[in-house]
A and B are shown apart, each in its own frame.
Chain A
Amino acid sequence: MKLTLKIWRQKNAGAKGNFIKYRSDDVSPEMSFLEMLDALNKKLVEEDKDPVAFDHDCREGICGSCGMYINGHPHGPVPAITTCHLSMRYFKDGDTIWIEPWRAKPFPVIKDLIVDRSAFDKIQIAGGFISINAGAAPEANSILSPRKKSDKAFDSSICIGCGACVAACKNASAMLFVSAKISQFALLPHGRIEAKERVRAMVEKMDELGFGNCSNTGACEAECPKQIKLANIARLNREFYKAY
């Protein structure tokens, strides 16, 4: 199929960006979205032109590297998947596709579609851990955890840190991201030990880095490729109140 691509090009963090129009004439429906961009880049490189820069790595939806706004949706129009898993069979011949980087103040653009997400790491560094040294752990089955709670902890822990929630939020809030980690540990018996310190530290860091607050719009949940639930934010709020 033949496609028109309008891609955000920005030389570096300081430069002014704009949309550039490209044509892609031989896109097959079996390609992934990133493979479609690979094909475009191959053509650009062969013409000695600067290829479109984007983050990507595992290409199986788990590393969280890739992420771009496609036709107004983080990771594109299909729910519950990452950009690397978006198949071109969801587009049709003659389509125009708008491709942009995440737009959020705490995620400045580095180049084209690549943004700086180190703010996410900083929040995790502030408190996203259980304090235990290698060698100090008790026998694994001495920590019993009800299966239902442990399964819930798992459902929160599968966040891949891609940043789609922040990009989707009108407030650029990181509450879904933070609440997923808070929930994972809050639901495990040994995660409760540092629950208060953890939630204070992570929320404080989140605020300090310029992420906005949650106003219950739910765009984050709707766009999350791993379907992390809004209920996590409610739990984050409860944990936060309990911590003071």
Chain B
Amino acid sequence: MEKLVSKVPDGPLAQKWTKYKTAVKLVNPANKKKLEIIVVGTGLSGAGAASALGELGYSVKNFCYQDSPRRAHSVAAQGGINAAKNYQNDGDSVYRLFYDMIKGGDYRSREANVYRAAEVSNNVIDHFTALGVPFARDYGGTLDTRSFGGVQVSRTFYAKGQTGQQCLLGCYSSLNRQIKKGNVKMFPRREMLDLVVIDGKARGIITRNLITGAIERHGAHIVVLATGGYGTIYYLSTLAVNSNASAAWKAHKKGAFFANPSFVQIHPTCVPQLNEFQSKLTLMSESLRNDGRVWVPKIKDDTRQPNDIPEEDRDYFLERRYPAFGNLVPRDVASRAAKERCDAGYGVGKTKLAVNLDFRDAINAQGKNSIENKYGNLFEMYKTITGSDPYEEPMRIYPAGHYTMGGLWVDYELMTTIPGLYAIGEANFSDHGANRLGASSLMQAAGDGYFVLPNTISNYLADDIRTPKISTDRPEFAEAENAAKERLGKLMSIKGKQTASSFHKRLGKIMWDYVGMTRNEAGLNKALEMIRDLKEEFWKDLIIPGTADELNMELEKAGRVADYFELAQLLIADALNRKESCGAHFREEYQTPDGEALRNDKEFAYVAAWEYAGEGKPHILHREELKFEEVELKVRSYK
């Protein structure tokens, strides 16, 4: 029996969304106020959804773990946001943006969802501009764009290297307007501990107040998860250190299928690790690859300063291997190429786990001013962290865990396999396939929140208008609350010797070494075994001082790490199952003679959606076959 129904509308690809919107059931404005919606997360998708739903007149409750919704990690996106405006007259179109995403995702995403994301991208830019997001402009006052990794048109709108911050503050402002109007109630410093399911439908959440430790019940007609990705499973990543997968994982254990967990993007341009206490790896926007050239010395262990190494002794390995795209190849390709050079012994710096990103030629050609205008704040940030000046000598960069294409399985309406539970933004799986193209994350998150979800939820809520306010006195709430409390108690009572972070660090190392940029069967099996042991050690030797009834950051961390052990096991099971290389998932057993990914469309052109089967039992695999009606499956070549 197949439980996955994608609900993709019939008809030609370009008309599906329009057709869907004309046929979708609507909710009478008078009824909207009576319908309650919980949105967890306040990034571009969460704050976008909460504001748009508030504008429509629904009663929205919005949650975040930070002290303010303005701090969600969308804030850290740097390079830009894509839209198919074709302002540059360079042949761009909705179709071309769609095609680039399908190809960039290595043909592992759902055509109809991707096309819709490309379609609403233009609405997103219009909306952000109207909200006062100060995108870069040309002298005539129109919006400027730049080109970004993996594509040949210039469609990326940007606000210096702080596009994510500016877009997020735009969302935050629209959210604030709805808070003022009373349509949205904000609950900051709350962590979702469980999803409440009543008669098979999502009807609320259990949260912990991170200041008082109080466990709270919140009911609603539907629940929207906008809780981001699980990149911190590697411990060191470009994510905020408190980013976590716990909300999505709890929903998964309550019945929401988890799709393609092994599709994790490793970003090629990050500041390398400098010390053993390092808590995160800072991203340097890949827009830098527009002007920076990536190279390593041709001679192993070359001890000369980078500026003293002459042209003939430099290996510009991306330009050499991929002459058509050069330094602008997609992230997965660039990351693996850097790893290949470092593994072969050509890396630079103290650890030899870094490559050069050099702006010398760009500064000579365009002048320092021009480079400063484009990347000033990134150069400053690099100098602040490392003490080295990129105007004077090349940056050193190395890949780091960044974005998770996998996530909760959703249908065309962005609903998970639990009726009434939706997942938007990075928390879902649907638009980026096996690899995400640069500047498409902000685009998809804002599109989901502002323009897709508000149109699709009415189809569900129209049948729910007779359901009264969900009472939190229902036994299902008590049950979920007790289970959450019991688990907190269990974590508190271990009273061992090791901190949650030290376990997280060890888990991250295993994941990076065996389940990172490249994977193989033996390594994956070894990682499974190591994680099983580590998880056992965790539940025996964790220490958390204090109590659960107060502000307790160690308890917060411990809960997240405990969930990561379980997600890591599923991630590895998925990587083992997918016996092919596609996008960011590179299985060493499946590669071409010159080291490129070898896809297997015959056997693996499907979404792997995993069902939780209970504690200690293996997950059940469900396949959503991917049908490509519009594009022809091709080998993804950037040569």
Chain A residues positioned under 8 Å from B551 (CB to CB): 12, 53, 110-111, 114
Interface residue stretch chosen among A129-137, A206-214, A235-243: A129-137
Smallest CB separation, A200 vs chain B (Å) = 14
Smallest CB separation, A32 vs chain B (Å) = 8
Smallest CB separation, A106 vs chain B (Å) = 14
| Nearest A residue to B53, CB-CB | A134
Contacts A129-B176, A135-B123 given; does A190 touch B545 at CB 8 Å: no
Please pick, from A31, A61, A146, the residue contacting B275 in the complex, using a CB distance under 8 A. Answer: A31
Which residue, A30, A81, A117, A153, has most C-beta atoms of chain B within 10 A?
A: A30
Interface residue B384 (Cβ < 8 Å from any Cβ of A): yes
- Of residues 44 through 102 on chain A, the ones whose CB sits less than 8 Å from some CB of chain B are 44-46, 48-51, 53, 55-65, 81, 85, 87, 89
Please pick, from B52, B169, B172, B544, the residue contacting A134 in the complex, using a CB distance under 8 A. Answer: B52
How far apart sit A51 and B85, CA to CA, in the bound complex (Å)? Answer: 51
Please pick, from A42, A130, A141, A161, the residue contacting B173 in the complex, using a CB distance under 8 A. Answer: A130
| Nearest B residue to A26, CB-CB | B277
Chain A residues positioned under 8 Å from B169 (CB to CB): 157
Asked if B188 contacts A118 (CB within 8 A), the reply is yes
Interface residue A147 (Cβ < 8 Å from any Cβ of B): yes
Contacts A57-B240, A85-B385, A125-B180 given; does A38 touch B501 at CB 8 Å: yes
Asked if B545 contacts A50 (CB within 8 A), the reply is yes
Interface residue B323 (Cβ < 8 Å from any Cβ of A): no
| Nearest A residue to B169, CB-CB | A157
Asked if B179 contacts A125 (CB within 8 A), the reply is yes
| Nearest B residue to A35, CB-CB | B277
Asked if B554 contacts A120 (CB within 8 A), the reply is no
Chain A residues positioned under 8 Å from B307 (CB to CB): none
Chain A residues positioned under 8 Å from B310 (CB to CB): none
Chain A residues positioned under 8 Å from B135 (CB to CB): 150
Chain B residues positioned under 8 Å from A8 (CB to CB): none
Asked if A188 contacts B277 (CB within 8 A), the reply is no
Asked if A59 contacts B142 (CB within 8 A), the reply is no
| Nearest B residue to A123, CB-CB | B176
- Of residues 164 through 208 on chain B, the ones whose CB sits less than 8 Å from some CB of chain A are 164-166, 169, 172-174, 176-177, 179-180, 186, 188
How far apart sit A96 and B240, CA to CA, in the bound complex (Å)? Answer: 29
Smallest CB separation, A91 vs chain B (Å) = 14
Chain A residues positioned under 8 Å from B138 (CB to CB): 147
- Of residues 374 through 419 on chain B, the ones whose CB sits less than 8 Å from some CB of chain A are 381, 384-385, 387
Smallest CB separation, A113 vs chain B (Å) = 12
Asked if A153 contacts B499 (CB within 8 A), the reply is no
Q: How large is the interface on B (under 10, 10 to 19, 20 to 34, 35 or more residues)?
A: 35 or more
Asked if B166 contacts A154 (CB within 8 A), the reply is yes
Asked if B87 contacts A141 (CB within 8 A), the reply is yes
How far apart sit A116 and B73, CA to CA, in the bound complex (Å)? Answer: 20
| Nearest B residue to A160, CB-CB | B165
How far apart sit A110 and B553, CA to CA, in the bound complex (Å)? Answer: 13
Contacts A124-B173, A150-B134 given; does A87 touch B387 at CB 8 Å: yes
Interface residue B624 (Cβ < 8 Å from any Cβ of A): no
Chain B residues positioned under 8 Å from A28 (CB to CB): 275, 277
Asked if B141 contacts A50 (CB within 8 A), the reply is no
Interface residue B140 (Cβ < 8 Å from any Cβ of A): yes
| Nearest B residue to A162, CB-CB | B71
Which residue, A49, A81, A118, A157, has most C-beta atoms of chain B within 10 A?
A: A157
Interface residue A169 (Cβ < 8 Å from any Cβ of B): no
Interface residue B581 (Cβ < 8 Å from any Cβ of A): no
Chain A residues positioned under 8 Å from B287 (CB to CB): none
How far apart sit A31 and B67, CA to CA, in the bound complex (Å)? Answer: 25
How far apart sit A46 and B497, CA to CA, in the bound complex (Å)? Answer: 6
| Nearest B residue to A115, CB-CB | B67
Which residue, B132, B142, B186, B240, has most C-beta atoms of chain A within 10 A?
A: B132
How far apart sit A127 and B297, CA to CA, in the bound complex (Å)? Answer: 55
Chain B residues positioned under 8 Å from A145 (CB to CB): 137, 141
Interface residue B162 (Cβ < 8 Å from any Cβ of A): yes
Chain B residues positioned under 8 Å from A191 (CB to CB): 132
Asked if B499 contacts A57 (CB within 8 A), the reply is no
Contact mask for chain B residues 539-575; partner A; CB cutoff 8 A; 1 contact, 0 none = 0000111100011011000000000000000000000
Chain A residues positioned under 8 Å from B87 (CB to CB): 141
Chain A residues positioned under 8 Å from B275 (CB to CB): 28, 30-31, 35
Top 8 nearest A-B pairs by Cβ distance?
A: A144-B141, A137-B130, A129-B173, A30-B275, A137-B126, A154-B134, A140-B129, A57-B240
Query: Given A129-B176, A147-B138, list of 14 further CB < 8 A pairs?
Result: A30-B274, A35-B278, A36-B277, A45-B543, A45-B554, A59-B241, A61-B381, A62-B76, A129-B131, A134-B51, A135-B123, A135-B451, A141-B142, A144-B141
